[in-house]
Structure 1
């Protein structure tokens, strides 16, 4: 029997996303890969705890053979087996992102022969990762429109350092992928805001609310303050969103030591303001996350604001695993079209 050739991938120009996409695609296609120089340009290269959880979780759902699954490892060899449905539970062991582990496993479990459940413990609101609300309200509804049947739930929020947050998901096998077409936002439905606040002075949240409301020209009471008393550690996040008939966008900021409340809120508010200043339905982060499902569906098209290096790297990687080609076209200043076919 002829063995499948192993894909050689350099991880130098990408971060954890390149690794997660490689794992997802390897699980779905059965194609093994070797990644060298993992996160090579990051201040601390190699596998960190949340990346290692992704690797071990991916290996568990398909009984993969893996070399290099160690903290700090800069090279990984991954030979997948058959994806198996099951009831899975994974703990990151830190505040590392639960949502990124979910996004790694979801495409594979959609292609299993029966339904699966996932329980992932770690951080639910992290810098450089989609917060739980983004998955629930922005990402997953797009997948539903493509034929996906999956649910997510946050059982407990968890922030940086302490972690302890829990998300769960139920995933049913996909019957048939539908191609994505998302070129218009549709009618405006609502704008909304929330500060999720745990075990920190109330003043921090109040300053965020005032700052964001001023920048977005909203009344202060348009942004809800919710205490996350069930969180095991301190933390804070501001979530600012806009919902349309066809799409939802959430811009977020995470409180970090050394960063003022005003800076956290300003970053989130400017992100939403930039989105609302154009007609493109797909925000920058959602664009990156829709590439893989769109490729698995065999094609599609959407309009977005701008194309990051992250997105271009992801497109090139997907093209190595799947028989698709991405094209990018500028339709007008601030609006780009990504087509896959």
Structure 2
């Protein structure tokens, strides 16, 4: 195994920009990919409860395990860590969060380092899959992974059971095929043109321990608000550790799918769940963007690693701008942004 290099440690201020966990995850990924020692201060300083929570700690420990890193500060509520990586080793891994924290975000922290390590890997994860505070496992499987497939990365996801907030307890596995390098992506036109948006719109209601009538009401309300009675619909009566409901609307096809989602909550009617999801979809459609804002944030690191690519997006969130800055600080790669009109941005790397 390659030992840690003599590169000087790069110090990252976790309070900058949106001040959340994205700084930590991107920094860990790039540290492993570049074999670059890092020190992160003020971790999640922008949050009401700063420092490493169970999900973030699992990200650190997962990263440490796959590259045998030398780490300090890896404990709950810590706001300061050092991370000195060795070479990433492909293999079979299992990570358990122990709460409803996002297994998807843990996966994304280690996904590209493992994919580019030269050999296949298998990762099992336990914890939250649909918690309403981060992209869900459904989003990962149906939107993010197809986009990465267009860049050459092939993965297979196997879901054993879902984990809704607050119970957690989800269990799933990702099989990662190795690749030598990522190809640049080009997502500048919507995945479904105006005249075909209706036929390419898909509504999905996931229910676990929840009546079918809830799913049917969500789908009916979304169809009514959109005026798309012919849209494809699906009810997934999922196996889960606890009860839960998640509603999804997606538009596009193939490797370019924009997805919008809303978790069902006590006191929140099925009609309001659908209404919030429809509102987000309508804003995206009005913008004419190719990529919605959550996927935009997650495509930044792949574009940097590919050495090129571009996409248009409906919003330039604080997550996105913070992520761009962290990538620049650690790698020197300058991802550019250009506002095309009131509703549309272009993000690109020449």
Q: What range describes the TM-score normalised by the shorter chain of this pair? A: over 0.9
Count, aligned residues: 340
Deviation string for 1:197-229 (max 9, x for gaps)?
11134444344333322222233985333222x
Look up the match of 2:158: 153
Match of 1:250 in 2: 259
Q: Tell me which residue corresponds to 1:184.
A: 189
Paired residue secondary structure (2:338)? strand
The verdict on how the C-alpha distance between 1:23 and 1:339 changes in structure 2, with shifts beyond 3 A counting, is same
Counterpart in 2 of 1:34? 39
Counterpart residue number, 1:133: 138
The Cα offsets for residues 127-178 of structure 1, whole Å up to 9 and x where unpaired, read as 1211122111211111111122322222221111211212211112212321
Distance 1:260 1:30, change over 3 A: same
Structure 2 SS opposite 1:243: strand
CA shift in 2, pair 1:24/1:208, >3 Å? same
What residue is the counterpart of 1:69 in the other structure?
A: 74
Tell me how far apart the structure 2 counterparts of residues 54 and 253 of structure 1 sit (CA, whole Å): 24
Q: CA deviation at 1:245?
A: 5.4
Equivalence map 1:101-116=2 (5 Å): 101-116=106-121
Q: Name the SS of the counterpart of 1:242 in structure 2.
A: strand
Other-structure match for 1:3:
6
Match of 1:209 among 219, 231, 253: 219
User: Equivalent residue for 2:345?
Assistant: 336
TM-score by length of 1: 0.94
Deviation of 1:182 (Å): 1.4
Q: 1:198 to 1:329 in 2, by over 3 A?
A: same
TM-score computed with the length of structure 2 as normaliser:
0.91
1:199-278 matches, cutoff 5 A: 199-219=209-229, 222-228=232-238, 230-244=239-253, 247-278=256-287
The 3 A distance-change label for structure 1 pair 246 and 65 is closer
Which digits, 9 at most, give the CA deviation of each residue in 1:274-312, with x for residues without a partner? 112232111111100000000001121111111011100
CA separation in 1, counterparts of 2:170 and 2:138?
13
Structure 2, gaps ≥5 residues long: none
Residue 298 of structure 2 aligns with which residue? 289
Q: Is the 8 A contact 2:71 2:84 kept in 1?
A: yes
Report how far residue 22 of structure 1 moved: 0.8
